[in-house]
């Protein structure tokens, strides 16, 4: 069953905007360093008077430094999100980030390898681009996004609340609060809707030796209203550094080859190149059977299946009409239902 579309998606919702006020601490990364983070993402929703629904994911994130110079580094970020369900298939995401020497993330290359519902998943910053010390306190303006809704600007206060260890890493604990009494309501969607932040807490655990984030916690409750439609959402994230290592040269070379192979597969995911992509997928499965990036192969196979289906659709006639499916929004035509039993329900009123 085809689960995904080949639409280019970027997991931009929920990204923490970097605070760049004041001097930034220097971030030193080395080629071949790998950082593994783990934790949970929880999303709860209640629409009007319906029963609430909750989705919980176990998160694993690998960050591999593939290039490192005095001016910055290139980091490949691989994410896996496994639903808290029996025999669940992980959602996966891949992006490449360029990190400046001051710790700021300068750019992020989009990828077709993204989660099916990227708005659920945060993108944890690589570092905390500000010099942190005991008793420090500062203010800033920050845009806070939520799901697919437009981001809202708040005045925020950050303060160093003390010291704490995350695993073996000695950290500064930084707490962020909004500079206004909650709940706080903002007009969004060109004034046609309201978004009310009912609660918000956020904590960063910043390495004392260099400003790598060792842990990131965020929890927020948001109410949304548009016309007669109302909903309440709760989103919590808790990601922490689980391990770090520097890969031996031979292992780093193999990992780099695997990432290049994935990139090659992605480049072939086009209306005319999907047959070559299928060949490349089979080669990857055979050559890199123990790769930590094997989770991308089912996703690539799904995208290839979508492209095959699109190529098989008639280009003219009644079966060429494509409309969005009501529940998923995926494009569908009558041609896609060939060989299946279809119930046609006629009704009328006088």
CB neighbours (10 Å) of residue 170? 14
Q: Enter the DSSP assignment of 212.
A: B
pTM for the model stands at 0.76
Q: Which residues neighbour 248 within 8 Å (Cβ) at sequence distance 6 or greater?
A: 32
DSSP 3-state assignment of 281? helix
Helix (H) / strand (E) containing 253: helix 249-267
pLDDT at 279: 93
Q: Which residues neighbour 155 within 8 Å (Cβ) at sequence distance 6 or greater?
A: 139, 140, 141, 178, 179, 180
Sole residue written with tokens 């960063």? 204
Residue of 312, 225, 311, 303 lying closest to 266 (CA atoms): 303
Residue of 100, 102, 96, 94 lying closest to 121 (CA atoms): 94
Alpha helices in the chain (DSSP H): 249-267, 274-287, 296-312
pLDDT at 265: 92
Q: Could you tell me how many residues make up the chain?
A: 350
Strands 33-47 and 229-246: antiparallel
Please state the φ and ψ torsions of residue 264, each to the nearest 5 degrees: -65, -40
Distance between CA atoms of 198 and 58, rounded to whole angstroms?
26
Sequential pLDDT tens for the chain (350 residues): 344 433 222 222 222 333 333 344 567 889 999 999 999 999 898 988 888 889 898 999 999 999 998 888 899 988 888 888 877 777 888 888 888 877 777 766 667 787 766 666 667 777 776 778 888 999 988 888 777 777 888 999 999 999 999 988 899 999 999 998 889 898 888 778 888 999 999 999 998 888 888 999 999 999 989 888 899 999 999 999 999 999 999 999 999 999 999 989 988 988 788 889 999 999 999 999 999 898 889 888 988 988 888 787 776 776 667 777 776 667 777 777 777 888 878 777 77
Radius of gyration of the chain (CA): 23
Distance between CA atoms of 318 and 305, rounded to whole angstroms?
23
Q: Enter the DSSP assignment of 16.
A: P
The backbone region for 227, taken as left when phi is positive above 0, alpha when psi lies in -120 to 50, beta otherwise, is left
Q: Enter the DSSP assignment of 25.
A: P
pLDDT at 129: 65
Residue of 34, 29, 106 lying closest to 251 (CA atoms): 34
HSE-up (13 A, CA, CB side) for residue 10: 8
Residue of 192, 210, 158 lying closest to 17 (CA atoms): 158
């Amino acid at each position: 069953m085809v689960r995904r579309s080949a639409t280019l998606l970027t997991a931009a919702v929920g990204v923490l905007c970097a605070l760049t006020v004041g001097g930034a601490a220097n971030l030193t990364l080395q080629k071949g360093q790998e950082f593994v983070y783990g934790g949970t993402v929880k999303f709860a929703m209640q629409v009007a008077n319906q029963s609430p629904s909750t989705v919980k994911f176990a998160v694993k994130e690998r960050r591999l430094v593939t290039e490192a110079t005095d001016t910055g580094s290139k980091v490949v970020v691989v994410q896996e999100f496994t639903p808290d369900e029996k025999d669940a298939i992980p959602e996966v995401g891949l992006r490449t980030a360029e990190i400046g020497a001051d710790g700021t993330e300068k750019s992020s290359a989009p990828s077709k390898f993204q989660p099916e519902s990227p708005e659920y998943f945060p993108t944890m910053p690589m570092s905390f681009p500000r010099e942190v010390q005991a008793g420090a306190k500062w203010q800033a303006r920050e845009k806070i996004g939520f799901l697919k809704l437009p981001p809202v600007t708040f005045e925020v206060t950050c303060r160093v609340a003390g010291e704490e260890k995350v695993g073996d890493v000695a950290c500064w604990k930084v707490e962020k609060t909004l500079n206004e009494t909650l709940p706080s309501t903002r007009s969004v969607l060109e004034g046609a809707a309201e978004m009310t932040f009912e609660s918000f807490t956020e904590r960063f655990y910043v390495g004392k030796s260099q400003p790598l984030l060792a842990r990131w916690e965020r929890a927020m409750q948001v109410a949304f209203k548009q016309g007669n439609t109302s909903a309440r959402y709760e989103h919590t994230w808790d990601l922490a550094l689980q391990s770090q290592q520097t890969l031996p040269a031979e292992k780093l070379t193999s990992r780099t080859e695997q990432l290049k192979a994935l990139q090659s597969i992605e480049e072939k995911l086009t209306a005319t190149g999907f047959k070559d992509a299928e060949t490349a997928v089979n080669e990857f499965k055979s050559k890199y059977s123990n790769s930590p990036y094997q989770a991308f192969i089912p996703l690539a196979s799904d995208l290839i299946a979508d492209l095959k289906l699109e190529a098989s659709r008639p280009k003219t006639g009644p079966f060429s009409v494509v409309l969005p499916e009501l529940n998923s929004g995926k494009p569908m035509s009558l041609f896609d239902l060939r060989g299946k039993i279809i119930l046609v329900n006629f009704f009328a009123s006088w």
